[in-house]
Structure 1
C-alpha cells in the first residue's frame, strides 16, 4: 500500500543516544509531507486530465471511425450511381440507335415506294401522251379528208328536212 502524508506525519522514530536532532528530523519530515502532498495532488490532477483526454480521444476515434465508414458508404453509393448512369446512358444510346435505324429503314422504304410510283406515273403519262397523239393524228387525218364537204351539204339537207317537218306539223 502506498505511503500517505498522514503516514509520514504519524511516523515515530525510536530514540537512541547518538541519534539525529529531533527538531531537524521533524522539520525535514514536515517538508517531505508538503512535497509529497503536492506530488499526490499533481498526480491526481494529471490522472484526471488523462481520463478526460482519454475520453476525448475515444470520442474522436469514434467520430473518425464513423466518418471513415460514412466515406466508404458514400463512395460505394457514388460508384453505384455512376455505374447505373453509365448503364442507363448505354440503354438510351442503344434505343436511339434502334430508333434511328428504324427511321432510316422506313425512309428508305418510303423512298423506294415513291420512286416506284413516280416510274409508274411516268409510264402512264407516256401511254396517255401516245394515245392522245394517236387520237389527235386520227382526228387531223379525218379533218384533212375530202368527206367533210359532203357532210356539210348533208347537214344542210338534214336541216331543210327538219324545217319542212316543222311546217307540216303547224298545218
Structure 2
C-alpha cells in the first residue's frame, strides 16, 4: 500500500543520542509532504486527463467503426445498384432488340404486301389498257366502216 502525505506527516522516529536535528528532519519531512501531495495531485489530474482522453479515443473509435460499417454498406449498395443497372440495361437492350426485330418483320411484311399490291395494280392497269385499246380499236373500226358513209349520204337526200 502506497504512502500518503498523512503517513509521512505522522511518522515518528525513535530518538537516540547524537541523532539528527529534529527541526531539520521535520522541515525535510514537510518538504517531502508538500512534494508528495503535489505529485499525488498531478497524478490524479493526469489520471483524469487519461480517462478523458480514453473516453474521447473510445468515442472516436466508435465513430471510426460506424463510418467503416457505413462505407461498407454504401459500397455494397453501390455494387447492388450497379449490378441492378447492368441487369436492367441488358433487359432494355433485349427488349429493344425484340422490338427492332418485330418492327423489321412488320416492315418486311408490309413491304411484301405493298409489292404484291403494286404488281396487282400493274396487272390491272395492263388489262385495262388492253381492254381500252381493244375498245378504241373497235370504235375506230366502226368509224372506218362503210356503213357510216351510207348514213352520211342518206342525210343529204332529205
TM-score (ref. length: structure 1): 0.85
Between the aligned partners of 1:12 and 1:86, the Cα distance in structure 2 is 88
Instruction: Give the Å deviation of 1:134.
Output: 1.3
Q: Which residue of 2 aligns with 1:111?
A: 111
Between the aligned partners of 1:76 and 1:4, the Cα distance in structure 2 is 59
Q: Which residue of 1 aligns with 2:32?
A: 32
The 5-angstrom pairing of residues 2-151 of structure 1 reads 2-151=2-151
Between the aligned partners of 2:99 and 2:30, the Cα distance in structure 1 is 101
Instruction: Give the Å deviation of 1:86.
Output: 1.5
Between the aligned partners of 1:103 and 1:62, the Cα distance in structure 2 is 60
Q: Deviations over 1:61-83 (max 9, x none)?
A: 11110111011111111111111
Between the aligned partners of 1:60 and 1:23, the Cα distance in structure 2 is 54
Q: Deviations over 1:12-56 (max 9, x none)?
A: 101111211111111111111111110111111111111111111
Instruction: Give the Å deviation of 1:153.
Output: 7.1
Instruction: Give the Å deviation of 1:121.
Output: 0.7
Instruction: Give the Å deviation of 1:152.
Output: 5.2
Larger radius of gyration: 1
Question: How many residues are matched?
Answer: 158
Instruction: Give the Å deviation of 1:97.
Output: 1.6
Q: Which residue of 2 aligns with 1:163?
A: none
Stretches of 4+ aligned residues off by more than 4 angstroms? 151-156
Between the aligned partners of 1:18 and 1:83, the Cα distance in structure 2 is 95
Between the aligned partners of 1:45 and 1:64, the Cα distance in structure 2 is 28
Between the aligned partners of 2:22 and 2:138, the Cα distance in structure 1 is 169
Stretch moving more, 83-92 or 45-54: 83-92
What are structure 2's unaligned runs of at least 5 residues?
none
TM-score (ref. length: structure 2): 0.92
Instruction: Give the Å deviation of 1:150.
Output: 3.8
Between the aligned partners of 2:117 and 2:128, the Cα distance in structure 1 is 16
Between the aligned partners of 2:3 and 2:10, the Cα distance in structure 1 is 11
